[in-house]
């Protein structure tokens, strides 16, 4: 069964719009957290976010090194 509880069709767009003023990596992590939270409970979301964080952190490191 797909999750049908989202009655606000553009709620994610609304939140992304509000997150627009934050740095890209913050935006990405926040969006992933919301997306996962629509399906999984808190603990599971936290576990999955650890790997997202690692990925974002490494990306950032590569970008910083490239810039350097």
Residues that bind another protein (CB under 8 A): 1, 3-11, 14-15, 18-19, 22-23, 25-27, 29-30, 33-34, 36-38, 41-43, 45-46, 49-50, 53-54, 56-58, 60-61
CB 7 within 8 A of CB 38: no
- The token duo for 44 is 């599971």
Report, in Å, the least distance between residue 54 CB and another protein.
7
Please tell me the distance from the alpha carbon of residue 15 to that of residue 26, in angstroms, as a whole number: 13
Report, in Å, the least distance between residue 66 CB and another protein.
16
CB 16 within 8 A of CB 27: yes
Report, in Å, the least distance between residue 67 CB and another protein.
14
């Amino acid at each position: 069964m797909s999750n049908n509880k989202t009655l606000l069709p553009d709620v994610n767009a609304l939140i992304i719009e509000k997150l627009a003023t934050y740095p890209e990596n913050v935006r990405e992590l926040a969006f992933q957290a919301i997306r996962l939270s629509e399906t999984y409970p808190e603990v599971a979301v936290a576990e999955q976010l650890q790997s997202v964080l690692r990925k974002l952190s490494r990306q950032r490191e590569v970008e910083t090194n490239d810039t350097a």
